[in-house]
Structure 1
């Protein structure tokens, strides 16, 4: 019994960040880090991208819709989301404001071809299609395309889907806009995924960085001359964000970093990009916008 109690006593407080991860947050956000870390213990709000009809439908049912940021509203539902008229009619899409900032960082995509790489369940593809883009979404897991198609059908939108491992070159016609929202450790999403801080290790960060570094050149090869590549991750570690992009730029002189436009969520500079600040329910994302000049 004494041995068990000693182990319990030595167990880390699950509400606290491991020391190395706390250091990452301090490196990312400086003097603001203690406030950011404390805020991660607050509950994650429901963020919805809503049409005007969606707002009216939710309010008619008794839900509270509060203006948010990046065009995403904070909503307190009167009933489960899938039972709301707004969701059923394709007038509501859950998305974190920082995630939508990655889409908006591409700029005006109306009528343009956009490659949505590592597209997952297609939420960013849906937001791109909402903005009038001709979207091709690529992911290595074919079953994710089924979920994406179902969601797009609900929203009355369309996209094309390609199943491919982005660690290998992809034979597609280059496009003027490419978004690589790469798989990552999720260290910027600790509010909604607190288990990450209990299992994430520095070694896992290095492994993920190597995966991202193998994908980024293949994404860059799909950008037409003069085109734009946005690289994003929902992580605040330097290895997955600014350091990785700096290495890429040094090895690919045809690309240059540009200021990241249309980021309305609070953010701080981070090397060749920006880091969104994970406070008030916003996730921590690294976002870089790169222009191909050859």
Structure 2
């Protein structure tokens, strides 16, 4: 295959199948695709962009394709639907010229064993290249691109209007947020970034992160503005012993170490903990690494502070990870809820009397956030909630619940570029 454009599209087709059929995360699928390593950076970037765009707009694309077909595609032709999805995503959302999007899609059908359907692919894409823009205006994009299970949960939790605003925010790629070790005002102009009220630097997405100023010298790390809030809620931590449970990929660990804490970073995955160590080494920040199961980990003495970033559905990160709605479902959430509850109760045992426990999940679902904390406080009188104040979250009271927890949504801070969805609670063990 000599055409690099066709090779990039074939790779994208294989990656799309990996996500939708094998339920593999985008990053894992990308890392494991050998053909990508030999591609030019431009083609690799195009592959990632096309894959992400197709997943973000999957519901709209399928509605248009179904409307253009005289009869449903046979189950055995699932690959043809994916070829149509990719071709249509290029034409309608990436402004790829017809000769590049349509012709390569026809070729793609041929080389993947569906030469007999090349005429159908050509006809459908050419028709929708003309009619598609008008048809898009009549679609409810937010609803179509949100799987039914997630739409139901969001509507139940936040009402139809807010659910629609969240889903609409998911259609846009998130900006690039950076946490700096020091002097954000100095780094902002060098990084062509905006200093957010919470202290995070924000720049437009795109470009190669390792080539940005300050990366090589370890001046900053990538971390969404909402993800940077939990570690800040401990207040001054210099000289304190802090345990970061479920520490990977290490952004919160880096914050705590940079603030002067004596941090133990714990994760049950040796591979993920190695990534934390690698990131901290680039940043020049030391921490103690422990590979252990957070549900059973024991310490010689309790910690002054414990941060529990519990494993969750990650539905709050869909702007950055558009594969999430297709990797997780109600059954997965139910299993995660049980693990979260066990982790939370064990974390209480690891914090000293008078110490602080900060809990967070990057989930939009209350059952993975507020409900967990309410259940703990109703059954364990050793813990008390310490409400978060607006000044601790950049002066924004829209991200605070009546009880004093943080509940950020992708539709919050619309003029600043939005936020990942997080639930954060600060608790203190009675002394």
The two structures have a TM-score, normalised by structure 1, of 0.88
> Which runs of structure 2 are paired with 1:48-197 in the superposition (5 Å)?
48-50=178-180, 59=189, 63-76=191-204, 80-197=208-325
1:267 counterpart residue number? 399
- Length, aligned pairs only: 290
Note if contact 2:188-2:195 (Cα within 8 Å) is conserved in structure 1.
no
Match of 1:284 among 408, 421, 426: 421
- The offset of 1:188, in angstroms, is 0.6
Which range is displaced more, 25-34 or 111-120?
25-34
Q: Deviations over 1:189-227 (max 9, x none)?
A: 111111111232111111100111111111110110011
2:103 counterpart residue number? none
> Which runs of structure 2 are paired with 1:169-248 in the superposition (5 Å)?
169-248=297-376
Is 2:155 the partner of 1:26?
A: yes
The two structures have a TM-score, normalised by structure 2, of 0.62
Output the CA distance in 1 between the equivalents of 2:286 and 2:316.
Answer: 30
Unaligned stretches of 5+ in structure 2? 1-69, 86-140, 412-416
1:17 counterpart residue number? 146
Output the CA distance in 2 between the equivalents of 1:218 and 1:270.
Answer: 26
Q: Deviations over 1:253-283 (max 9, x none)?
A: 1101120242236514176723112132410
- The offset of 1:93, in angstroms, is 1.0
Output the CA distance in 1 between the equivalents of 2:183 and 2:385.
Answer: 38
Unaligned stretches of 5+ in structure 1? none
Is 2:386 the partner of 1:258?
A: yes
Output the CA distance in 1 between the equivalents of 2:384 and 2:188.
Answer: 44
Name the one with the larger strand percent: 1
Output the CA distance in 1 between the equivalents of 2:402 and 2:73.
Answer: 44
Output the CA distance in 2 between the equivalents of 1:161 and 1:207.
Answer: 27
- The offset of 1:287, in angstroms, is 0.5
Output the CA distance in 2 between the equivalents of 1:46 and 1:269.
Answer: 26
SS at 2:345's partner residue?
helix
CA RMSD of aligned residues (A): 2.8
Determine which structure has greater relative contact order: mean sequence separation of CA pairs < 8 Å that are 6+ residues apart, divided by chain length: 1
- The offset of 1:57, in angstroms, is 6.5
Output the CA distance in 2 between the equivalents of 1:128 and 1:89.
Answer: 19
Output the CA distance in 2 between the equivalents of 1:290 and 1:196.
Answer: 29
Output the CA distance in 1 between the equivalents of 2:240 and 2:278.
Answer: 23
Output the CA distance in 2 between the equivalents of 1:24 and 1:251.
Answer: 26
Q: Deviations over 1:50-103 (max 9, x none)?
A: 35677756745xx52122242111124795221233000111211001001111
Output the CA distance in 1 between the equivalents of 2:328 and 2:284.
Answer: 38
Note if contact 2:184-2:201 (Cα within 8 Å) is conserved in structure 1.
no
Name the one with the larger helix percent: 2
Output the CA distance in 1 between the equivalents of 2:426 and 2:186.
Answer: 35
SS at 2:406's partner residue?
strand
